[in-house]
A and B are shown apart, each in its own frame.
Chain A
Amino acid sequence: MEDDRLHELVRQRSYAEAFEGLLDRYQNKVYRLAFSFTRDRARAEELAQDVFVKIWQVLPRFDARASLSTWLYAIARNTCLSALRYDARRRMQPLDETHEPAARTFEGGAGTDLSGVWSLVDRLPEAQRRVITLFYLEDRSLREVGRLLDMPEGTVKSHLHRARRALAGAMKAEGAR
């Protein structure tokens, strides 16, 4: 379903149908965006769930000032950032204050199963890691990465270049060992 049709459905308050359409169109994009933040498939899926629960709750308040995709990606980014902050706080909590099992670390966590060059991506600074991950997940589209991360294409490109240079350096170092 195209964005225009989804927009029309929201305007007509056919929220259930619009929500189905949003899921069809954006669930995998939101999942990949969440993965670029968490680097963990299971956690990314949980966050994608959280994003769509929020979307369902606030869909009646969508006011069409931005496009549906821009609005949806903003909710997805904010959800991921809040979750990362929450997870970071939990990790910093002393063990005797934690009543549940220790929070999972995303990098190299059980669901990551990334190997080879993708495991090197984990060592990059956060922004570069997100950009390069989404670039390859989104079929090498600078424009799409920019839309997902709300970044100008020039910024995406500059993060990508820095990431490539750093990865090449890491590959060389790995090869030299």
Chain B
Amino acid sequence: MDCTQAQDLLLDELDAALEPAERREVLHHLDDCEPCRAFAGLQRQLDAELRDRVPALVLDAGFRRTLEVRLAVRQPWPEWLPELAYVVGAALATAASVLVLPFPVSSTWWIGSALAGLGLFVHSLVARALCGLDARAGC
């Protein structure tokens, strides 16, 4: 084993335990190699200092309080409403069906189209409610 291999294994040992055979070989190399012994000593000292002086990084309760304030002014799409895509889809379907109708449009057609859009909206609400009742529905 040369010095490069021994030093690589010494560094590996700081990350995770070596195999017994590798460990024996490294120890054998260290017996006869002063530079690698110095390298090992310095690396162990460095590891100990990094470990002992690692900054404690844990957030306190203030983090949640600040986050709640930030989130309060940025309410997402309300959970009780169907997804935005449904609402936009219903609006577009209504608009499209009204636009393609021959003119003059009778009030029956207008009402029918609006009801179709409303139906889609209500359908999405019911589907969502069912999803909430049965998590296995795969919604």
Contact = CB atoms under 8 A, between A and B. Distances in A.
- Asked if A and B are interacting partners, one says yes
B59 A27 contact: yes
Contacts of A137: 54-55, 57
Interface string A117-160: 11001000000000010011100101000000000000001001
Given A12-B131, A53-B74, A160 B15 contact: yes
SS class of chain A's interface: helix, strand, loop or mixed? helix
A59 B16 CA distance: 37
Contacts of B102: none
Given A15-B79, A28-B58, A172 B42 contact: yes
Given A35-B57, A41-B57, A117 B15 contact: no
B54 A136 contact: yes
B8 A118 contact: no
Contact of B139 (A13, A165, A168): A13
A interface residue count range (under 10 / 10 to 19 / 20 to 34 / 35 or more): 35 or more
B101 interface: no
Interface stretch (A44-52, A71-79, A80-88, A90-98): A44-52
Interface string B1-40: 0000000100110111000000000000000000000010
Contact of B67 (A13, A53, A116, A117): A53
B46 A13 contact: no
Interface of A: 8, 11-13, 15-16, 23, 27-28, 31-32, 35, 41, 44-45, 48-49, 52-53, 56-57, 59-60, 113-118, 121, 132, 135-137, 140, 142, 157, 160-161, 164-165, 167-168, 171-172
